[in-house]
């Protein structure tokens, strides 16, 4: 989840952004010993490399930076909690994302907000990027457009396409849920789960939960009009306008609940809210109808649907939010750098749900090794060893799923991911030490 | 009947797979059939603003199905699972003035609840209704669907129907 603005962070963001004028940039990877070297890096020498790649396009992953480069693409239609602020407005966010990709995942990510007039134009733009990219991260695209865009691009592209607001949020939510269930003596199968909000995050969460073993009949999903069920008045409209939500309405909610949040929460074990700005969107008396030892996640940023204190007052035992200033931050940044690291290291053609589930399991396992409690169900971003660990599992899952171009052993996966991420951290450290990157002025 | 009171009536949830019956609607099924008729009208409205549904659609639908069930030359069939009405088909015999064949079986409304779609039930309902209409004197069958409803258009084309006339609309 993305950050929480405070007066201090807003002020710093504005002044630092002006000072640095861009958070990421291009730096050479090869030495230029003299201008003679350009006959190697550029023409005439480079023609030999081009011909080799022409004969075997897969060599573009060997002879160029394609193996480690992704595009961070948005149309700027749903940026943070700010809504449709346009592609220019989205640029600082995409730069920030690129920086996180680089520092935590060792991935070269290129911020690319684009001005497009239609969904088809966005799809053809992204699709055309394929030759120069190892993958694509879609970001901040409104729902339900984001579902169609991701589905079509995943179908037609031979490199991974990832929509962080769907798969990233759903993946880290699943990781948090694994440990919350563990702490409260539950298993995914048999737990009654309520998803409040049917946008990008929860639509993906529903699919991931079912793939991970949850019984769809035990899942209840609500949108702004209440509980989704197969005979809701607007079901035919959903079929035509949002078939993802339609499918959820048909396959979930086995006991045919109708009504609102309270009706859904009665006897529920876990709530995942990704519904909109709080802090009073959900009330303690709604939480209190859940089962004892209830789990409640409030993912809206910057203001969670409900504040943790109020949820505890309502009887929730384990509470998580998207914010860093409360315990249990359900933070996408724990996942996406590692997922792409793992996918790129094996040259995956796509990122399957099985790969995301493996990532979630490893994220949860890492936290358990460090010790989990009701206020510590996930690792934190400073535990950087979690990234290569998760990356290795993602790579191995890609190989098992038959979507990897390159086969690595589990040990090789871990070694490669560790080396690439360490390299990125060394670059940062060297650039700061040498004064190429200055500390911000105060 | 709304989903809420259907649940209260004790019908078990998601009971897809129980024995399905396709037959003439019984008296106590008319309210449920009317509910499904209203749903078809709302669905049609998704395709064209000239199909905006009136506020009192429910009572109108109740009279409409009542008439279809009672009037000779009209047909009201339902698909029933257990005691739950999951599909409805309304049709009537219309005599043409100038063309042959003269007698047409006119399917005006056809709706199946989403969970019961794609299970060959639509086909079965259409066949039974066609047979019924033939007995009532129909020499051929037509069905009225919104021009923009591609799903419905495909359904009929796949079963050997073809578009025979077009209805154009425009605000005056």
Task: Classify residue A418: in a domain, yes or no.
Answer: no
Same domain, A146 and A172: no
Work out the average pLDDT over B128-156: 96
For residue range A377-405, list pLDDT tens digits in order: 999 999 999 999 999 999 999 999 999 99
Does the pLDDT of residue A80 top 90, yes or no?
A: no
For residue range A243-298, list pLDDT tens digits in order: 999 999 999 999 999 999 999 999 999 999 999 888 999 999 999 999 999 999 99
Q: Round to whole Å and give the CA distance between A215 and A192.
A: 9
**Helix (H), strand (E), coil (C) string for chain B:** CCHHHHHHCCCCCCCCCCCEEEEECCHHHHHHHHHHHHHHHHHHHCCCHHHCCCCCHHHHHHHHHHHHHHCCCEEEEEEEECCEEEEEEEEEEEECCCCCCCEEEEEEEEEECHHHCCCCHHHHHHHHHHHHHHHCCCCEEEECCCCCCHHHHHHHHHCCCCCCCCCCCCCC
In chain A, residues with a C-beta closer than 8 Å to the C-beta of B7 are: 256, 258
Q: How confident is the model at residue B18 (pLDDT cuts 50, 70, 90)?
A: low
Does the pLDDT of residue B146 top 90, yes or no?
A: yes
The predicted pLDDT at position A96 comes to 96
The predicted pLDDT at position B5 comes to 36
Task: Classify residue A279: in a domain, yes or no.
Answer: yes
The residue from A290, A305, A321 where one domain ends is: A321
Task: Classify residue A347: in a domain, yes or no.
Answer: no
DSSP result, A334-348: GTHHHHHHHHHHTTB
Nearest CA in chain B to A251: B115
Q: Are the Cβ atoms of A246 and B42 closer than 8 angstroms?
A: no
Q: How confident is the model at residue B109 (pLDDT cuts 50, 70, 90)?
A: very high
Catalytic one among A12, A16, A42, A225? A42
In chain A, residues with a C-beta closer than 8 Å to the C-beta of B113 are: 230-231
Task: Classify residue A330: in a domain, yes or no.
Answer: no
Same domain, A87 and A195: no
Q: Are the Cβ atoms of B43 and A229 closer than 8 angstroms?
A: no
The predicted pLDDT at position A62 comes to 97
Q: Which domain holds residue A194?
A: 167-321
B17 touches chain A (CB under 8 A): no
Average pLDDT score over chain A: 95
Task: Classify residue A283: in a domain, yes or no.
Answer: yes
Instruction: Give Cα separations from A110 to A123, A334, A394, B125 (angstroms).
Output: 17, 19, 22, 56
The predicted pLDDT at position B128 comes to 97
Please report, for the domain that includes residue A76, its CATH number.
3.40.50.10380
Which residues in A278-432 belong to E strands, given as ranges? 294-298, 316-321
Q: Round to whole Å and give the CA distance between A80 and A371.
A: 32
Does the pLDDT of residue B143 top 50, yes or no?
A: yes
Does the pLDDT of residue B6 top 60, yes or no?
A: no
The predicted pLDDT at position A302 comes to 86
A97 part of the active site: yes
What b/e sequence results for A61-88 when a residue is b if at least 16 CB atoms lie within 10 Å of its CB, and e otherwise? beebebbbbbbbbbbbbbbbeeeeeebe
Work out the average pLDDT over A362-384: 96
Give the SS3 label for residue A80: coil
- To test the contact with chain A by mutation, choose from B1, B8, B14 the residue with the greatest count of A C-beta atoms within 10 A, namely B14
Same domain, A212 and A282: yes
Task: Classify residue A85: in a domain, yes or no.
Answer: yes
B14 touches chain A (CB under 8 A): yes
Work out the average pLDDT over A327-342: 96
Number of domain units in chain A: 2
- A266 torsion bin: left (phi>0), alpha (psi -120 to 50), beta (else): beta
The residue from A271, A287, A321 where one domain ends is: A321
Task: Classify residue A395: in a domain, yes or no.
Answer: no
B172 touches chain A (CB under 8 A): no
Same domain, A89 and A205: no
Q: Are the Cβ atoms of B3 and A231 closer than 8 angstroms?
A: yes
Q: Round to whole Å and give the CA distance between A271 and A294.
A: 8
Catalytic one among A97, A245, A349, A393? A97
Same domain, A80 and A178: no
Same domain, A146 and A240: no
Of B4, B46, B114, the CB nearest to A258: B4
Does the pLDDT of residue B158 top 60, yes or no?
A: yes
Does the pLDDT of residue B3 top 70, yes or no?
A: no
Same domain, A174 and A314: yes
B55 touches chain A (CB under 8 A): no
Q: Are the Cβ atoms of A246 and B114 closer than 8 angstroms?
A: yes
Same domain, A172 and A291: yes
Q: Are the Cβ atoms of B7 and A256 closer than 8 angstroms?
A: yes
A429's tokens: 């450290």
Q: Round to whole Å and give the CA distance between A244 and B51.
A: 26
Same domain, A236 and A280: yes
The predicted pLDDT at position B16 comes to 53
For residue range B68-79, list pLDDT tens digits in order: 999 999 999 999
Does the pLDDT of residue A351 top 50, yes or no?
A: yes
Give the residue carrying structure tokens 């890492």.
A366
Nearest CA in chain A to B45: A237
Please report, for the domain that includes residue A313, its CATH number.
3.40.50.720
For residue range A108-151, list pLDDT tens digits in order: 999 999 999 999 999 999 999 999 999 999 999 988 999 999 99
The predicted pLDDT at position A369 comes to 97
- To test the contact with chain B by mutation, choose from A228, A229, A236, A240 the residue with the greatest count of B C-beta atoms within 10 A, namely A236
Cα distance from A241 to chain B (closest Cα, Å)?
Answer: 9
Does the pLDDT of residue B2 top 50, yes or no?
A: no
Give the SS3 label for residue A434: coil
Cα distance from B149 to chain A (closest Cα, Å)?
Answer: 10
Task: Classify residue A366: in a domain, yes or no.
Answer: no
Does the pLDDT of residue A4 top 90, yes or no?
A: no
- To test the contact with chain B by mutation, choose from A216, A227, A256, A258 the residue with the greatest count of B C-beta atoms within 10 A, namely A256
Same domain, A155 and A171: no
Same domain, A271 and A193: yes
Same domain, A154 and A176: no
For residue range B28-70, list pLDDT tens digits in order: 999 999 999 999 999 999 999 999 999 999 999 999 999 999 9
The residue from A281, A299, A321 where one domain ends is: A321
Q: Which domains does chain B have, with CATH numbers?
A: 20-158 (3.40.630.30)
């Amino acid at each position: 989840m993305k950050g929480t603005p405070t007066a201090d962070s807003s002020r710093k963001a504005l002044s630092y952004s002006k000072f640095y004028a861009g958070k990421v940039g291009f730096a050479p990877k090869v030495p230029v010993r003299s201008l003679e070297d350009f006959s190697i890096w550029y023409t005439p020498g480079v023609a030999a490399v081009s011909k080799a790649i022409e004969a075997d396009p897969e060599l573009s992953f060997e002879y160029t930076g394609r193996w480690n480069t992704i595009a961070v693409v948005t149309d700027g239609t749903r940026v943070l909690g700010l809504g449709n602020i346009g592609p220019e407005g989205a640029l600082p966010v995409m730069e920030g994302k690129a920086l996180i990709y680089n520092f935590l995942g060792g991935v070269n990510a290129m911020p690319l907000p684009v001005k497009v007039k239609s969904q088809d134009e966005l799809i053809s733009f992204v699709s055309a990027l394929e030759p120069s990219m190892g993958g694509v991260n879609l970001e901040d695209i409104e729902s339900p457009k984001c579902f169609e865009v991701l589905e079509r691009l995943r179908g037609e592209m031979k490199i991974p396409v990832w929509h962080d607001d769907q798969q990233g949020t759903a993946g880290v939510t699943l990781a948090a849920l694994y440990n919350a269930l563990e702490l409260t003596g539950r298993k995914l199968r048999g737990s009654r789960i309520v998803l409040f909000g049917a946008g990008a995050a929860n639509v993906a969460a529903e699919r991931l939960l079912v793939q991970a073993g949850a019984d769809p009949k035990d899942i209840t999903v609500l949108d702004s009009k209440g509980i989704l069920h197969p005979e809701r008045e607007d079901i035919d409209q959903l079929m035509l306008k949002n078939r993802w939500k339609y499918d959820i309405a048909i396959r979930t909610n086995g006991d045919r609940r109708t009504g609102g949040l309270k009706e859904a929460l009665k006897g529920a074990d876990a709530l995942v809210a990704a519904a909109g700005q709080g802090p009073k969107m959900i009330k303690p008396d709604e939480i209190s109808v859940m089962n004892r030892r209830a789990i409640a996640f409030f993912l809206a940023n910057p203001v969670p649907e409900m504040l943790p204190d109020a949820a505890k007052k309502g009887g929730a035992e384990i509470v998580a939010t998207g914010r860093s200033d409360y315990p249990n931050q359900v933070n996408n940044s724990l996942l996406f750098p590692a997922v792409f690291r793992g996918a790129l290291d094996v040259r995956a053609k796509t990122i399957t749900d099985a790969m995301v589930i493996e990532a979630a399991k490893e994220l949860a396992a890492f936290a358990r090794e460090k010790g989990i409690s009701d206020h510590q169900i996930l690792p934190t971003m400073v535990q950087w060893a979690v990234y290569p660990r998760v990356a290795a599992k993602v790579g191995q899952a890609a190989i098992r799923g038959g979507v990897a171009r390159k086969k690595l052993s589990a040990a090789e996966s871990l070694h490669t991911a560790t080396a690439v991420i360490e390299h990125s951290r060394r670059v940062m450290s060297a650039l700061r030490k040498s004064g190429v990157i200055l500390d911000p002025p105060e | 009947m709304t989903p809420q009171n259907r649940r209260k009536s004790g019908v078990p949830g998601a009971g897809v797979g129980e024995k399905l019956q396709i037959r003439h609607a019984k008296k106590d099924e008319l309210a449920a059939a009317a509910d499904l008729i209203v749903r078809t009208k709302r669905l049609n409205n998704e395709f064209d603003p000239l199909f905006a549904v009136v506020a009192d659609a429910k009572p109108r639908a109740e009279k409409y199905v009542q008439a279809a069930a009672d009037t000779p030359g009209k047909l009201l069939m339902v698909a029933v699972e257990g005691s739950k009405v999951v599909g409805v088909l309304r049709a009537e015999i219309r005599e043409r003035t100038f063309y042959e064949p003269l007698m047409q079986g006119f399917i005006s409304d056809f709706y199946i609840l989403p969970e019961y779609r794609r299970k060959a039930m639509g086909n079965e309902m259409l066949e039974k209704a066609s047979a019924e209409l033939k007995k009532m004197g129909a020499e051929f069958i037509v069905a009225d669907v919104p021009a923009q409803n591609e799903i419905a258009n495909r359904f009929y084309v796949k079963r050997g129907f073809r578009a025979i006339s077009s209805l154009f609309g425009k605000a005056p």
